[in-house]
Structure formats: C-alpha cells, structure tokens
Amino acid sequence: MAVGCPAGTREWKRRQVAHDRPDRLFDESALNSSCEHVPGAVQRNKSRKRSGGCQTTWSIGAILYGDAGVPVHTEEPPCALASTYTGCVAGNIVVRLSLALPVCACCLAALLSGAPADPEDPVFRAVDLDLGESREVHFSNGTVASVRLIARDEIRDSVRQAVRSARVRVEVNGHETMLNCGNYRLPLTVGGVQIDCPVTKGYLANARTNPWGLDKDARLRVWPAASPLLRPGTYVYPVQQRWFASDTQMSNEPSFVDGSEEPARKRVYYHYGLDIGGVEGLTHVISATGGLVVVRGNGVLPAYRDSPYIEINYDGVIVLDERGWFHWYFHLARIDPGVTLGSRIRIGQNIGVIGKEGHAGCWSHLHYEIRSLQPSGKPGIQEGYAFLWEAYQKQYSPDLIAVARPHSLAWVGEEVVLDGGSSWSRTGKIERYDWTFTDGGRAEGPRVKRVYAKPGTYSEILKITDAAGRVAYDFAVVQIAGKPENGWTDRLPPTIHAAYSPALDARPGQTLTFAVRTCRTTYGREIWRFGDGSAPVVVKSDGCAEPASPKGYAFTRHAFKKPGDYIVRVERANERGERAVGHLHVRVCAQ
C-alpha cells in the first residue's frame, strides 16, 4: 500500500505564515491606554504622556525582583502594583533599572522586563505537595479541584542508583490513581480533571543540582477536564522534523546518547530539558512561542544579566514569552541573522540550525527547555514534553505514535523491561505491539523482558499497528555494561547517534543526508544498511575523539526509490567486538 504523508504536515507548511504573527506581549497600542493591564516590557527610547500627566521614558531593562532574585509575577493591574510598591525600594522588593529613569507609580509595572507585567494566565495550575498534604486548585474558568498526595515511589537501577521510574499515588476530587512521573508520560484524566507529575523529591538524592526548584515530595500540574494543555495558537513544535526522528533525552531521563551514562558517575544528570537529536547544520529550529529575545549568543539584555532564569553562551538563544516563561534554544550550529537581541520574535520564526556547540557533549541536538517561577517560589524547570506532544499533534495530525522510550541501563545478565505502553493511536486502540530485537529475536505485547549476555548498545524495534493497518515505529535503546573484572573499573561498550535530513515528507528519489557518530571507540567503522535492498555503505566518524570537532560526524547520502516505511540500521564495534547499534525510521511518501 502506498504511504501517504499526513495532511497536517502540508497544512502546517501552508499555515506557517499565519502563525508568524506579532505576539501580544509587545502590543504598542497598550501604551496608549489608560492605566490598565499594560502588556509586558516596553518600547525603547520613546516618551508618552500617560493619564495623570506624568512623563515616562520607556526602556527595555527594568526588572522587579523579590526574594532570592526571583522576578515577581502579579495578577494585579499595574496601578494596583504601583500603589503598593512605590519608589525604588519597598520592603523586600527592589526595582532594578538598566538606566536611571523617572518612573511614575502609574507606569511602574509597565517597566517590568524580568517577567511580563500582565503574564498570560496558564490554563493549568501547579502545586507542590508533601505526603499527606492536600490542596484546592482554582482554575481561571471558576472551577475548583481538590488534590492530595498519598504516596510516592522511585525505582532505581543497580548500575548507578539512578531513578528509572517515579510514581505517585494521588487523590483527585475523591478519586485515587497512580501517576507515572516524567519519562515521556502525558497527563491522565481522573476525577474530572487532567493531571500529571513532572518530578518527585527522590531525584534530588543523587541529582547534580535541583533545577526543578522542588522542595516538597512531588510537583503536580492540573488542568480542567478536556482543556488544551496550552492556549491554542500560542505554541508550536520547535524542530522541523518528524516526531522521534532521532535520539532524544527528555523528562528527567539520565543523559546517555554520547556515552555519559557511566557506572562510576554517581551524580546523575537527569535531563530535565528536552534534547532533540538532528543532523548538524541541517535540521532547522523555530521559535515555539512569540516573545522577547533576552539572550542571543554572548549578548544579553542588561536587566537579565544576573537573572536566575537564564544562562549565556555563544550557541544559544533565550526567548521570554507572554506567560513569563523563558524558552532556551542551545547548541545551535548557526543562529539566524534575523534573531536580534532585544527584538520581538514571532511564533514559528526561524531561530537557527541544530549543532553540537557549547556543552553539547559529542552529539548534535537541540537543547530546549522552559524555565519559570515554580510553586516553591523558586525559578525552575517547566516540564515541556506534554507541550511538545500537543503541538506536534495539532500541526502534523499523526494517526499513530510509537513510544519505546526512555532508554535502559543494566549490567550483563540483568533483566531489562522494554515498555511501549506510552504509544498512542488517534482511534484510541492499538491492535498489535511487535518487537524485533537486535539479535533477530521477536516478541509481542506492550511490555517485554530481555536479558543481555554481552555488553553493547542495543536498539530494539517496536512496531505498533492499529485496526486500519497503519503502523508506526520507535526504538528502545538499551545500554549494557560489563561488570568490573580483573581491575577494570568499567567495561563500557560504544554508543552511537544517527540522524537524517530532511525528516519530513521524504519522496521517492529524493536524496536524504544521513549522519552518524560513535562514542567510546575510535576502532572500526560504521556500516549503514538502508532496508531497501541496496548495498551496505561504510563510513568512519571520529569516535568522539574531539567532541567539538566540526568533522566529528560521518555523512552519507541515500535515495529510496519507492514509497514505504524503511528501518535503517547503522552499527560499529570496538576492539572487543562490543557493538553499538542505532536505527532510524524513514517514511517515504507517495508522490
């Protein structure tokens, strides 16, 4: 059967210009209004007469800080805020201006640039709870929900004692349920609301830092029933490629692609951001939201230089949106010249292309994360996997999505559980789960167990099928380490990263670029098999000998002659014969 690409893909391309609209954060018309909700930070070098006759020079570069340097968010109109916090210092609130400017009380809130003076009210509510604690959640639509945290539990691996699964039992409006936290999980509907758990306190035991700003046992987010996760028209998928077109590191999954999962490392980098792999220099990144460019490369707006919501590096862009959220785009090979510091960026506007710059390790990817004020009163991560999911669904209208992630880490001889239960079908039912293993074995069902006899990086194929015969694929990465022997600290196999471009709407005869890089070995070569009966192709990457090398990846090109779903395999072995295997799913659409 000929493979047709989702209509949503083409529709997204047609509608992209419509999405590139000026966002409301910097609506100049608001400056002409009387002292009401004035959106966000303000214009440069303009003077306006405001009601009451005061003259105010508007300037980017004002920020209102409270305790611990956290920008103050307020639901009060600017006049109410100004009447409470007049002058430069009031209690523990300090107004820091990049320029010494006369500021009338009526206009004080309009000078805020640490966060919008009138941030968009999110459709969800976040609460941090200790065990046994309950809280009433009030939504903007006037409804109320009651949530209580009953229990929490984390499952750790035996190699690093890293959290591999976290769960909480909650009561929502009198209904109990178990939530799996992070790890590519979406909100569940229970008790008349939607609810998820981004993180639990168990991660803090051996995390490198506390980027979540979590003090209590768990964080919960609650939405009204049937509500979108974010307001429609305010968010898009930030990478121009298919869902799971390459490796990812998301939702507190320990960082692993470039070989950073080492038994000797007891402090774990739980990847709280959203890493999306792609082809260096080719995969385009667009802005997920509209907003203000507060960081571009090594440049930063003066008011944000000491902000706890940002970092500054040559390879990154940070955008402040109308919710008061800071969106990070890092490891870019190139930043688009149209992205300028202090400018307004449009939703869907090009930001740059994926690379491995900065602190990317050895692999090419976008590091995307969202930082915002958390229920603890601290700056922290706003878990974004569910937002990416919702945006992709709306833009590309997939019928099926297979999910075999997160990856696994185990010793030789230990049992590993492969879980495809997070997979999704638009019809609500998946008819079949079929697994094909690296060694040629097969199994059926959403969850299967495996034991590995040799160290290596394995890529196990999950194929799901719905009632109409439509299929989708994903790959479970399993890293198996040899137990210490004869003085070896670790017997670590190679790891591998593969990607291709373009990864949307490939056509018969179209030339695609494939990139691969192996880590932990410089021995041997990579072998590509494209799954279409063509001869294998041999290339050689640098084995991550120099992580930032512009020649680190090995590239090849290939064109598929016919429409279909192709499983592409690439592998490389070290001197001990331990292999790293990677897979890509390439869908070639009918003309």
Task: Please identify, in words, the CATH class of the domain defined by 125-224.
Answer: mainly beta
Q: Which of 23-37, 321-335, 479-493, 506-520 has the lowest mean pLDDT?
A: 23-37
* CB burial string 405-442: b at 16+ within 10 A, e below: bbbbbbbeebebebbbebbbbeeeebeebbbbbbeeee
Sign of the dihedral defined by the CA atoms of residues 17, 22, 24, 30, in that order: negative
Q: Which pLDDT value is given to residue 44? A: 30
Q: 169-206 pLDDT, tens per residue?
A: 999 999 999 999 999 999 999 999 999 999 999 999 99
Q: Which pLDDT value is given to residue 379? A: 97
Instruction: State how far the Cα of 324 lies from the Cα of 507, in Å rounded to an integer.
Output: 41
For the domain made up of 248-393, give the CATH fold: Glucose Permease (Domain IIA) (2.70.70)
For the domain spanning 494-591, the CATH number is 2.60.40.10
The burial of 357, by beta-carbon neighbours within 10 Å (0-12 exposed, 13-18 middle, 19 or more buried), is given as buried
Cβ proximity of 70 and 379 under 8 Å? yes
Instruction: State how far the Cα of 421 lies from the Cα of 423, in Å rounded to an integer.
Output: 5
Two tokens, residue 504: 């949307």
Cβ proximity of 560 and 507 under 8 Å? no
Pairing verdict, β 193-200 and 526-529: unpaired
Two tokens, residue 140: 């903007």
Query: Please, what is the Cα angle at 118 between 116 and 124, to 5 degrees?
Result: 95
Residue 452, pLDDT above cutoff 80: yes
20 versus 365: the higher-pLDDT residue is 365
Which whole-number Å values give the CA distances from 486 to 410, 412, 489, 491, 493, in the listed order?
A: 20, 16, 9, 11, 17
Residue that has been written with the tokens 């919960």 in this structure: 220
Task: Please identify, in words, the CATH class of the domain defined by 398-490.
Answer: mainly beta
Residue 108, pLDDT above cutoff 70: no
Two tokens, residue 71: 């920008």
DSSP at 576:
T
Q: What is the mean pLDDT of residues 403-424?
A: 97
Q: Which pLDDT value is given to residue 66? A: 35
How far from the centroid of its chain's Cα atoms is residue 94's Cα?
33
Question: What does pLDDT average to over the chain?
Answer: 84
Q: Which pLDDT value is given to residue 116? A: 52
Q: Which pLDDT value is given to residue 118? A: 56
Q: What's the first-to-final CA gap in the chain, in angstroms?
A: 13
Whether 398-490 and 494-591 share one fold: the answer is yes
Residue 335, pLDDT above cutoff 90: yes
Q: Which pLDDT value is given to residue 61? A: 31
Q: 271-295 pLDDT, tens per residue?
A: 999 999 999 999 999 999 999 999 9
Residue 309, pLDDT above cutoff 70: yes
Counting every residue written for the chain, the total comes to 591
Domain boundaries, the chain: 24-111, 125-224, 248-393, 398-490, 494-591
Provide the 10 A C-beta neighbour count for residue 579: 20
The helix or strand, by DSSP H or E, that contains position 10, with its residue range, turns out to be helix 7-19
Instruction: State how far the Cα of 566 lies from the Cα of 116, in Å rounded to an integer.
Output: 47
Q: What is the mean pLDDT of residues 323-333?
A: 98
Q: What is the mean pLDDT of residues 457-467?
A: 98
- Helix extents (H) in 161-289: none
Cβ proximity of 360 and 278 under 8 Å? no
Q: What is the mean pLDDT of residues 388-407?
A: 98
